[in-house]
Amino acid sequence: MIIADTDVLIDFLNGKPPGSDWVAQGMEQGDLWITSITRFEILSEKKPSKKAMELVSLIRTLPLDETAADEAAKIRRSLESKGQDIGMADSLIAGIALSNKASLITRNHKHFGRVEGLKLTHKTEERE
């Protein structure tokens, strides 16, 4: 199972490689998912584009369930204790990915690379 992070979905919507290529490839393979957090981030724009709404409707969404929330809380506590907080949204996305034993497609290695045990599929560009 592969989860697309918000940054690569935005790349896809803007036709910006390499993120757009990674999302297209994942969709073709039929094993691409997003988290409910990413769905929220994409759709919470002041006026989400029709293309954005269509995209999230085509990709299956993993929920923030009890197991994922507990995992995200552990991630957040651990990273905060080290002074390496990655923010609530990224903690939640990482918790969902870990609880589902999924890989995460992202360019944000700076944040997600701090999460022990999280498999990152793509990490070519750092972004805060």
Reduced 3-state DSSP string for the chain? CEEECHHHHHHHHHCCCCHHHHHHHHHHHCCEEEEHHHHHHHHCCCCCCHHHHHHHHHCEEECCCHHHHHHHHHHHHHHHHCCCCCCHHHHHHHHHHHHCCCEEECCCHHHHCCCCCCEEEECCCCCC
pTM of the model: 0.91
pLDDT (tens digit per residue) in 45-67: 888 999 999 999 999 999 999 99
pLDDT (tens digit per residue) in 3-50: 999 999 999 999 999 999 999 999 999 999 999 999 999 999 888 999
Q: What percent of the chain has pLDDT over 70?
A: 95
Calculate the alpha carbon distances from 94 to 27, 54, 123 in Å: 20, 24, 15
What architecture is the 2-122 domain classified under in CATH?
3-Layer(aba) Sandwich (3.40)
Domain ranges of the chain: 2-122
Name 114's Cβ contacts closer than 8 Å, sequence gap at least 6. Answer: 79, 84, 86
pLDDT (tens digit per residue) in 4-17: 999 999 999 999 99
